[in-house]
Amino acid sequence: MKTQSIDHLTPMQKTLLITLGGRAADALWKRPILHDPLATEIVAHLDHDTLRLPMGVREAVAIRSRMLDRAVAQFVRSHPDAVVVELGAGLETRRYRVDAPPTVDWYDVDFPEVTELRKSLLPHRDNVHAVGVSLLDPRWADAIPGDRPTIVVSDGVLGFLSENDNRQILTTLTDHFTAGGELVFNAYTKFVARQNGRFTKIVGMPADFTGYGIDDPQDIVDLNPALTFVEELYGDAAPERDELNLAYRLMSRIFAAWPAQARRGVWIVNYRF
Ligand SMILES: C[S@@+](CC[C@H](N)C(=O)[O-])C[C@H]1O[C@@H](n2cnc3c(N)ncnc32)[C@H](O)[C@@H]1O
């Protein structure tokens, strides 16, 4: 693996450093939650100073990665002919964490600059395909088979785009993937989305940047009625919370019984199409 410059990336593209940094920091922690040494290896090969992540980001990223990994692992176990689509893949390493049958094809969608970086930094795997296209291009799914059971997974992406962008992306999704499947992603409440710039300014995003938030999982169905809401999961109620320190464990227990508050933490939503 050669050291790669990332100076050419836009601030939006550099947000990948935050989630990657969270996974790498977790791997170096004394009691890792996610255990992803590849994330640390990738960080070491980026010509960039290590980010100082705001408090709680390491834990939140590790927990939501585990929750999304579980959803994908479960889907590919019951659909060995599945297609996994990672929206806004960044330098995400899920493909190397989830044990998928060799018959599963994995499509990593992100801007061309980012997919090039992925190709130079991540180990080659058969059945892994880079799709360098903006999700704002209505043809973003054209290179991906639409006639196999599909799980579309997205971590830290849809909440960075506008409501209209989300409507368009989700419409392309349900129009293209006609064999049906699941959409699973981490959602932000409107309150949390308004605070987005506080976290993303460390990579050059405007401090007043606000993302897209929802207050009810049904809001996504209102954007695209071809989606059916299946379930929501809270990081505060996930088994991983027991691996946190005592203060976080106590807080999680209280928040888990209080949905409006739990949704402000790690909030995973799952839909069928
Ligand atoms: C916060 S990062 C998350 C990256 C990755 N999912 C992870 O967990 O590490 C957001 C990612 O979304 C990508 N992204 C943002 N807008 C996009 C768009 N319009 N089309 C494709 N990718 C986009 C960025 O390039 C970046 O890689």
pLDDT category at 124 given cuts 50, 70, 90 is: very high
Testing ligand 1's pocket by substitution, the residue of 157, 164, 169 carrying the most ligand atoms inside 8 A of its CB is 157
Per-residue model confidence (pLDDT) at position 1: 75
Strand, coil or helix: 153: strand
- Please state the φ and ψ torsions of residue 270, each to the nearest 5 degrees: -130, 130
- Please state the φ and ψ torsions of residue 186, each to the nearest 5 degrees: -90, 125
141/162 Cα distance (integer angstroms): 19
Strand, coil or helix: 139: coil
Residue carrying structure tokens 């997919």: 115
pLDDT category at 95 given cuts 50, 70, 90 is: very high
Least-confidence region, from 47-51, 62-66, 249-253: 47-51
Percent of the chain with pLDDT over 90: 86
β-partners of residue 213 are: none
Closest to 159 (Cα-Cα) out of 190, 129, 131, 181: 190
The average pLDDT across 117-126 equals 94
186 lines ligand 1 (CB under 6 A): no
Closest to 273 (Cα-Cα) out of 168, 184, 161, 164: 184
Per-residue pLDDT tens digits for 195-209: 989 889 999 999 999
Per-residue model confidence (pLDDT) at position 216: 96
Domain that holds residue 169: 4-272
241/62 Cα distance (integer angstroms): 11
19 lines ligand 1 (CB under 6 A): yes
Number of domains the chain contains: 1
108 lines ligand 1 (CB under 6 A): no
pLDDT category at 248 given cuts 50, 70, 90 is: confident
89 lines ligand 1 (CB under 6 A): yes
Ligand 1 centre distance from Cα of residue 250 (Å) = 32
207/201 Cα distance (integer angstroms): 5
134 lines ligand 1 (CB under 6 A): yes
Residue 146's CATH number: 3.40.50.150
**What would the DSSP string read from start to end of 178-197?**
TT-EEEEEE---HHHHHTHH
The average pLDDT across 1-27 equals 94
- CA 121 to chain centroid, in Å, comes to 18
Whole-prediction pTM? 0.96
CB of 31 closer than 8 Å to CB of 243: yes
Residue carrying structure tokens 């410059």: 5
Cα separations in angstroms, 160 against 64, 73, 248, 266: 16, 25, 26, 15
